[in-house]
Structure 1
Amino acid sequence: MAKFLIILLVIWLVSRYILPVVLRLVVGALVKKQAQKFGQQFGQNPFSQPPRPEPARPATAPGEVHVDYVPPQAEPDTREFKGGEYVDFEEVK
C-alpha cells in the first residue's frame, strides 16, 4: 500500500510541476519553428518588426517651416441660437 501511495505521489508531483515546464518548452519551440517556416514561405521574418517607411520630406532651408497638414476651416454659423422651447415643469409625487 505504501509503495502505491509513493508512486501516486511521484506521478502527481511530475504532472504538477515538471510536465508544464516541459510542455511549455516543447510547444514554444514548435510554434517558433512553424512561424519561421511560414515566414520563409512568404519572405518575412515573423519575429522582427517590419521596417517602417520614412515619409519623404523635401529639402528645406534651415529655419524654414514646412506644414504637412492644414485642417479645413469651419465656416462660421450665421444663425444665432435664440433658445429652446419652454417646457413647464410639473413635480410628480
Structure 2
Amino acid sequence: MAKFLIILLVIWLVSRYILPVVLRWAVKALVKKQAKKFGQQFGQSPFTQPPPRPSATRPATAPGEVHVDFVPPQAEPDTKEFKGGEYVDFEEVKK
C-alpha cells in the first residue's frame, strides 16, 4: 500500500510540476521551428523587427489641426435629374 501511494505521489508531482515545463518548452521549440520555416519561404527572418517605414515629410501641424493627405476629385453633378415617372393605375385582379 505504501509503494502504491509513493508511486501515486510521484506521478502527481511529475504531472503537476514537471510536465507543464516540458510541454511549454516543446511547444515553444515547435513554434520557433515553424516560424523559421515560414520566414524562409518569404525571405525574411521571423524573429527580427521589420525595417521601419520611411515616413513622408509632413509640415508640422499645430495641436488640434487636421492634415489630409489626399482629397479625391469631386464628380460633376448631373444636369439631367430624374423628376419621376409616369403614374400607372393599379388594379388588383381576382379570380
Would you call these one fold, judging by a TM-score over 0.5? Answer: yes
Aligned to 2:39: 39
Q: TM-score, normalization: structure 1?
A: 0.59
Deviations 1:34-69 (A, max 9, x none): 100100011121211211221354xxxxxxxx4584
Correspondence 1:28 to 2:19: no
> What is the letter of the counterpart of residue 46 of structure 2?
P
Amino acid at match of 2:52: R
- In percent, how many aligned pairs have the same letter? 75
Structure 2 CA distance, aligned partners of 1:8 and 1:37? 41
Query: Which amino acid is the alignment partner of residue 16 of structure 2?
Result: R
What is the Cα-based RMSD across aligned positions, in Å? 2.6
**Per the alignment, do residues 14 and 70 of structure 1 end up closer, same or farther by CA in structure 2, a change over 3 Å counting?**
closer
Normalised by the length of structure 2, the TM-score is 0.58
> Which residue matches 1:13?
13
The runs of 5 or more residues in structure 2 that have no matched partner are: 62-66, 70-95
What is the correspondence of 1:46-85 to structure 2 with a 5 Å cutoff?
46-57=46-57, 66-67=59-60, 69=67
Q: Which runs of 4+ in 1 moved over 3 A?
A: 66-71
The answer for unaligned runs of 5 or more in structure 1 is 58-65, 72-93
